[in-house]
Amino acid sequence: MSDCLPVELMDIILGHLHPEQWLVSWPNTARNKLNLAACSLVSRRWNAVTRRHLFEDVVYSFRRVPADDEASHEALTCEHDVYRRFSMGSVCEARYKTLRLFCQFLRSDEVARTSIRRLRLRVLPSARRISSFGSTPRLDLCFDEQDRVESAELVALFGLLPNLRVLHLSDIIPSTPSCASWKTIRLRQLSIDFSSPFYQLRDRNQYTTYSEYAVVQLLTFFGEVEDLQIARVGFDHSSSYPILRSTQSSPLRVRSLTLCMTQSYRGCLLDSLTSSVTLPDLRRLVLKPHDLSAREVHLLQNALSPFSGNLLELKYDLSRTNFFHATVPVLDISRCNKLHQLNIGFRLDPHTRYTNIDTLRNIASFLSEARISQTMNPQLRAITFEITFVFTLEENSNWQLCCHEGMNAFDCAVSELASRYPILKLRFEYKTIGRFMSQSPADTIANMMSITSQRVKLHIQAYGNSEHVHGNITRNSQPYEIGVDEFL
């Protein structure tokens, strides 16, 4: 490779070598950057340019170390620091890493510190144990008091990264809420997730801290985020634990919010969001209320209602995921008078026939009871259904039989909606998991449909790992427009 290429051209070439899946943990994160690491060995000039790209995406997993043991680890900074070793061509992971060592490395390396654009921080738990949740065993992540991440260390780290735009925080429980917001940098995306919503952390009062309260604490660190994503947040519904409240209102302001909630929801996070200045700027909302009860969705509805008038885009996942809550309660969108885009996501799996039926009934209830109308939602022109098909390996999979009972309710709801909102179009997008049967996914959707209204026009769009479909399919003299877009 020539050493005389302009820096701009080198940046373009190296930009194509960035891994698409940058969030993966070790060792995949190193394997994905082997080509970039090889380019750094071409010459000193290439090394200088390549280092910026090597540190653009960083995944750092660490443990909290007791204060008495940190001195011995600090003495091994150069030997154990994964990113210093990586920049020298090694792909061996450090045997022991701490957040303090990462900050020390960033202070000593100006190029790495200013190059980081996307960062994922992940805490490695000190212990794991198997516990029983009903009749189902589950894996709990067990944290001791020493496993809490020091808030001062987090603030110090954020202050070292002036060009950070995307931040993912995984399994992080801060020691205390932040005393001051990190307002010097505007994040394009902040994602907070947990490997399990059931964190067992024994504090001095012998109480258990769960992930929802940890999220509330983390939000106090930031001032402005364009896209906030919160995944796998839950609270145990046991009455033996105190109801935790935020000690400080979050000053965070967001434009796009994604909430993926599990188990019983106490409202600590929603209290923090709605009591602050967060939601008046909200324009896009993605809700994945897996396993929530009617009371919990009602709590969610009340929390979001004052700000729903500003929403431009809403995505609501109506899949049934277990046998405890067959019905996903309806979210009233009558106040969303500026809504432009409504997406309804659901999953169909031949292995779980009854959950498929309940999912389709949930969608029918939503279409009938969500008060969608031309008067209430004058700017809404289409509803997009995002379907995930899970294909079975058995050739005798009968989708029509599997979903027939639920489709009857779905058809009636769609026809009634078409008469109430004549100009509204329905659009179906789908992706598939597993191999195809003799019938294509688009044919499957068309055969499932028996909509009677002539005013409903379906645009069935393929995406993901689906096959090409061309032409029109006719069923009961009803034309179905089949559009194909490949997104991969």
The 10s digit of each residue's pLDDT in 441-479 is 556 665 555 443 333 444 444 444 333 333 333 333 333
Residue pair 418/424 in contact (Cβ under 8 Å)? The answer is yes
Give the pLDDT score at 74: 43
Give the pLDDT score at 275: 59
Do 107 and 129 fall into the same domain? no
Q: According to the per-residue pLDDT averaged within each range, which of 274-288, 316-330, 463-477 is highest?
A: 274-288
Do 471 and 382 fall into the same domain? yes
Is residue 199 very low, low, confident or very high in pLDDT (cuts 50, 70, 90)? low
- Phi/psi of residue 289, each to 5°? -85, 65
Q: Is residue 50 part of a domain?
A: yes
DSSP-assigned states of every residue in 39-74: HTTS-HHHHHHHHHHHTTEEEEEE----HHHHHHHH
Q: Is residue 299 part of a domain?
A: no
Q: Is residue 447 part of a domain?
A: yes
Residues 6+ apart with CB under 8 A from 447: 399, 400, 439, 475
Q: Is 359 helix (H, G, I), strand (E, B) or coil?
A: helix
Q: Is residue 478 part of a domain?
A: yes
pTM recorded for the entire structure: 0.75
Task: Judge whether residue 427 has pLDDT over 80.
Answer: no
Distance CA(482)–CA(320), nearest Å, equals 27
Between 231 and 289, the higher pLDDT residue: 231
Which residues does residue 140 pair with via DSSP β-bridges, in sequence order? Answer: 129
Give the pLDDT score at 12: 79
Task: Judge whether residue 235 has pLDDT over 70.
Answer: no
Do 212 and 350 fall into the same domain? no
Mean pLDDT over residues 219-239, rounded?
72
Q: Is residue 290 part of a domain?
A: no
Is residue 164 very low, low, confident or very high in pLDDT (cuts 50, 70, 90)? very high
Do 209 and 257 fall into the same domain? yes
Give the pLDDT score at 389: 72
Domain-terminating residue out of 282, 300, 317: 282
| C-alpha torsion sign, points 154, 156, 157, 163 | positive
What tens digit of pLDDT does each residue of 76-94 get? Answer: 343 334 444 444 444 444 4
Give the pLDDT score at 472: 35
Do 169 and 109 fall into the same domain? no
Q: Is residue 196 part of a domain?
A: yes
Q: According to the per-residue pLDDT averaged within each range, which of 46-55, 158-167, 336-345, 399-408 is highest?
A: 158-167
Do 320 and 452 fall into the same domain? yes
Per DSSP bridges, beta strands 127-133 and 136-143 are: antiparallel
What tens digit of pLDDT does each residue of 99-132 get? Answer: 888 898 899 988 889 989 999 998 877 665 555 4
Mean pLDDT computed over every residue of the chain = 68
Minimal CA–CA distance to 367: which of 328, 323, 321, 320? 328
Q: Is residue 287 part of a domain?
A: no
**Domain interval for residue 86:** 1-55+63-115
Give the pLDDT score at 165: 92
What burial class does residue 195 get, using C-beta atoms within 10 Å of its C-beta: 0-12 exposed, 13-18 middle, 19+ buried? middle
Minimal CA–CA distance to 426: which of 437, 413, 438, 439? 413
Task: Judge whether residue 361 has pLDDT over 60.
Answer: yes
Mean pLDDT over residues 370-388, rounded?
79
Strand ranges (DSSP E) for 134-283? 136-143, 166-170, 187-193, 199-201, 224-234, 253-262
Give the count of domains, the chain.
3
Minimal CA–CA distance to 333: which of 291, 362, 375, 296? 375
Do 125 and 101 fall into the same domain? no
Do 316 and 455 fall into the same domain? yes
What tens digit of pLDDT does each residue of 14-31 get? Answer: 777 777 777 766 666 666
Between 162 and 388, the higher pLDDT residue: 162
Do 136 and 111 fall into the same domain? no
Domain-terminating residue out of 94, 115, 136: 115
Give the pLDDT score at 119: 93
Give the pLDDT score at 380: 85
Domain-terminating residue out of 98, 115, 132: 115
**Cα-to-chain-centroid distance, residue 394:** 32
What tens digit of pLDDT does each residue of 48-84 get? Answer: 888 888 888 888 888 765 444 444 444 334 333 444 4
Residue pair 297/329 in contact (Cβ under 8 Å)? The answer is yes
Q: CA separation (Å) from 450 to 181, 382, 407, 478?
A: 54, 19, 8, 8
Is residue 251 very low, low, confident or very high in pLDDT (cuts 50, 70, 90)? low
Do 127 and 240 fall into the same domain? yes
Q: Is residue 301 part of a domain?
A: no
Do 263 and 144 fall into the same domain? yes
Do 160 and 245 fall into the same domain? yes
